[in-house]
Amino acid sequence: MKNPDLISMRQALGDVLLKLGDEVPELVVLDSDVSSSTQTIHFGKKFPDRFFNVGVAEANMVDIAGGMATCGFRPVASAFAIFLTLKAAEQISNIICYNKLPVILLGGYAGLSDSFDGASHQSITDIAVMRAMPNLNVIDPADAIELTQAMQQMITYDGPSYIRISRNPRPLLFENDEPFKFGKIRKIQEGSDMTIAACGVTVSMAIDAASELKSKGISAEVLNISTIKPLDVDTLVRSVQKTGCILTVEEHTICGGMGSAVAEALMKNHPVKMDFIGISDTFTETGSYLELLKKYGISKESIKDKVLKLVTE
Amino acid sequence: MKLQKMSIITDEKLRRKSLQDIEGETDLLQKAAKIRYFAQQCRVDVFEMLYKRGNGHWGGSASVAEILSTLYLHFLKTYPENPKNPDRDRLILSKGHAAPMLYNILAKKGFFPMEELSTFRELNSILQGHPCMNKTQGVDISSGPLGHGISVGLGMALAARLQKKDYWTFVIVGEGCLNEGQSWEGIMAAAKFTPPRLVIMVDYNKVQLDGPCSDIMPLDPLSDKFKAFNINVAEKVYDGHDVLDIMKSLDWAKENQKNPSAIIYKTHKGKGVSFMEDNYKWHGSTIDDESYTRGKGELIETLMKLKI
């Protein structure tokens, strides 16, 4: 039996694009021959005149989107995250970001979620590369509802955004009436002993870990950093002022990702004891999604282990 | 102070007058001659500007002088007082290192004060080393890193079709741009989506930064490559320094406006200074004192001969 609470971000993306297509006449969608995977295909069927499948040519796609954006359109350009952010990195930088064009870049199959296709298709560097680019917002939604809300907000934003999209069905964490706020950290659970800052699919693991830690007498505050850039430094600092230590959790290499962004902010504003969960400096491999996450240390168990170490050190 | 202000106003009047004199000319032969003179004057000014700055790209700027001048003074609908007018024709200088020539012409068209030209490549200047759309009025997209123009231009041309606007999009590329794989992705996609009024203009001087194309990355048979990619390419290779010929190429573009098209222009890198022409060493080298004196002499001599 299907778990009614599991829904994938890509499925939500397909739905929200259909809705936005009616509401925002300037919306155009571009894809690079992966529309049936990323689910932009539904938009393409409903709005064929505003859908452009450019074939396997991510760099070309990003620049076409840029050209359209200079003429008043609101392009959404979609590809697998690794190919979008690495093959088209120079186009994203020199055309989209340098010119501050209102384009949404959708990195599908992000993190390890393209699990069976192997390391060559998994995106573990996109946050690092995207957040290094001036003018670019970087958003890693925690569930399908946040993804939907992020799309609704960023489609009218006057500048470029990168949004990370996981492939697989994951639990819904939020209700529709708790709106995602761009640029704001969402505090999911109050706590006093330590802060767990998670993003993307790891947020649900952080929530589960925190509730299990409660039975061990540890009160963990859980933050959802869905907007990695610009980072909500105020909320972050207020949290660690109270808890005195922080663990970041992300489905990404620990080199330059969300944890690095948090470390940069805290080192400058309020240094505390800190540890990181993410992929250590290594390539990953083929396997089932949950097995992969576990093997590379991204799991409820590793969160609990690291928290225990941090608070007892 | 007052005197200086006066002279700026006089210069502005003069600028407008000479522009009107060219753009309003009804006799095509006369107009071509006037544009040729204008282009040569731009060459002189750019040469001077680059010499004073000590850097910037002479070769590619000199190569595209007549093509740019003819576009701006004979064809493009632009609105210097309202540069972002959504109905304007678009010009993408994909070979963005020719920025000095573009800036010179944009200033003469009235997009920004002529005095700005002397700040080219200085800190805080509106005139960056390569074109920047958010700093310079009249620049439709930032360029310089090669190979972007055709893709971006395709986006603009598709936008025109979606908005039912009839503006033109011209993309000027050099060999460097066509070395980039992305250009061919853009060409393939242009042939698929077929927006009207998208024109790829090749400033084909056959010399790139490191040497002649034939040594670095041969592009010939270029026309056949466009054809093989299903792009309508003009049979004739036009003379990119002959304004009348460039005008004819634009007539061809008009006749073929229903689909994307490509036009190849035979040009000379560093055109106008004999010892710099077709020589890759003058792609972006500093113009030394001796070369400046000799070069400027030649450029002025030609200018005088062109005087109408």
Residue A176's pLDDT is 76
> Rounded to an integer, what distance in angstroms lies between the CA atom of residue A240 and that of residue A262?
11
Question: Domains in chain B: how many in total?
Answer: 1
State the distance between the two ends of chain A, measured CA to CA, in whole angstroms.
Answer: 44
DSSP state of B84: T
Nearest CA in chain A to B190: A54
Give the ipTM. Answer: 0.96
Interface test with A, best of B84, B85, B132, B148 (most A CBs within 10 A): B148
Smallest CA–CA distance, residue B88 to chain A, in Å, is 10
Residue B83 sits at the chain A interface (C-beta within 8 Å) = no
Contacts of B192 in chain A (CB under 8 A): 55
Instruction: Give the burial string for A140-153 (b: 16+ CB within 10 Å, else e).
Output: bbbbbbbbbbbbbb
**Average pLDDT per run of 10 along chain B, which is 308 residues long?**
62 92 97 98 97 94 98 98 98 98 97 96 97 98 98 98 98 97 98 98 94 95 98 98 98 98 98 95 92 97 91
Q: Is B151 in contact with A71 (Cβ distance < 8 A)?
A: no
Q: Is B141 in contact with A50 (Cβ distance < 8 A)?
A: no
> B243 and B39 in contact (C-beta within 8 Å)?
yes
Tokens of A282: 């290594």
Nearest CA in chain B to A59: B182
Smallest CA–CA distance, residue A20 to chain B, in Å, is 17
Q: Is A66 in contact with B155 (Cβ distance < 8 A)?
A: yes
Catalogue all structural domains in chain A, each as residue range(s) with its CATH number. Answer: 6-171 (3.40.50.970), 186-312 (3.40.50.920)
Query: Residue B115: is it exposed, middle or buried by C-beta count within 10 angstroms (0-12/13-18/19+)?
Result: exposed
Among partner residues A49, A55, A94, which is closest to B162 by beta-carbon distance? A49
Range of the domain at B47: 2-306
Smallest CA–CA distance, residue A125 to chain B, in Å, is 23
pTM for the full predicted model: 0.96
Smallest CA–CA distance, residue A83 to chain B, in Å, is 14
Ranges of chain A with pLDDT below 50 = 1-3
**Tally of CB atoms within 10 A around B284:** 16
Q: Is B162 in contact with A57 (Cβ distance < 8 A)?
A: no
Smallest CA–CA distance, residue B91 to chain A, in Å, is 12
Contacts of A50 in chain B (CB under 8 A): 162
Interface test with A, best of B130, B133, B150, B151 (most A CBs within 10 A): B151
Q: Is B182 in contact with A60 (Cβ distance < 8 A)?
A: yes
Among partner residues B144, B163, B185, which is closest to A59 by beta-carbon distance? B185
Residue B54 sits at the chain A interface (C-beta within 8 Å) = no
Q: Is B158 in contact with A69 (Cβ distance < 8 A)?
A: no
Smallest CA–CA distance, residue A28 to chain B, in Å, is 10
Contacts of B86 in chain A (CB under 8 A): 71-72
**Tally of CB atoms within 10 A around B27:** 9
> Rounded to an integer, what distance in angstroms lies between the CA atom of residue B260 and that of residue B190?
7
CATH of the domain at B54: 3.40.50.970
Residue B86 sits at the chain A interface (C-beta within 8 Å) = yes
Q: What residues does A194 pair with on adjacent strands?
A: A220
> Rounded to an integer, what distance in angstroms lies between the CA atom of residue A20 and that of residue A50?
12
> Rounded to an integer, what distance in angstroms lies between the CA atom of residue B174 and that of residue B149?
10
Residue A181 sits at the chain B interface (C-beta within 8 Å) = no
> Rounded to an integer, what distance in angstroms lies between the CA atom of residue B301 and that of residue A68?
45
Residue A1's pLDDT is 32
Greatest alpha-carbon pair distance for chain B in Å reads: 62
Among partner residues A54, A72, A99, which is closest to B134 by beta-carbon distance? A99
Query: Residue A203: is it exposed, middle or buried by C-beta count within 10 angstroms (0-12/13-18/19+)?
Result: buried
Residue B6's pLDDT is 60
Residue A42's pLDDT is 97
Contacts of B159 in chain A (CB under 8 A): 67-68, 70-73
Residue A74 sits at the chain B interface (C-beta within 8 Å) = no
Q: Is A66 in contact with B141 (Cβ distance < 8 A)?
A: yes
Q: Can you spell out the DSSP letters for B107-138?
A: HHHTSS-GGGGGGTTSTT-SS-SS--TTTSTT
Residue A59 sits at the chain B interface (C-beta within 8 Å) = yes
Distances A266 to A134, A194, A198, A253 between C-alpha atoms, Å: 20, 14, 15, 19
Q: Is A70 in contact with B142 (Cβ distance < 8 A)?
A: no
Smallest CA–CA distance, residue B179 to chain A, in Å, is 15
Contacts of A73 in chain B (CB under 8 A): 159, 162
Q: Which of residues 126-155 of B touch A (CB under 8 A)?
A: 132-134, 140-142, 144-145, 148, 151-155
Residue A104 sits at the chain B interface (C-beta within 8 Å) = no
Residue B10's pLDDT is 73
Q: Cis omega (within 30 of 0) on the bond before B221?
A: yes
Our measurement of the distance from residue A50's CA atom to the centroid of its chain's CA atoms, rounded to an integer in Å, reads 26
pLDDT tens across A163-193, in order? 999 998 888 888 777 789 999 999 999 999 9
Tokens of A285: 């491999």
Residue A184's pLDDT is 98
Element (H, E) at A38: helix A35-38
DSSP state of A226: -
Nearest CA in chain A to B148: A63
Query: Residue B123: is it exposed, middle or buried by C-beta count within 10 angstroms (0-12/13-18/19+)?
Result: exposed
Q: Which residue has the tokens 């690794």?
A: A82
Residue B191 sits at the chain A interface (C-beta within 8 Å) = no
Reduced to 3 states (helix: H, G, I; strand: E, B; else coil), residue A204 is: helix
Return all residues near B168 (Cβ < 8 A) that are at least 6 apart: B75, B76, B77, B89, B90, B197, B198, B199, B257
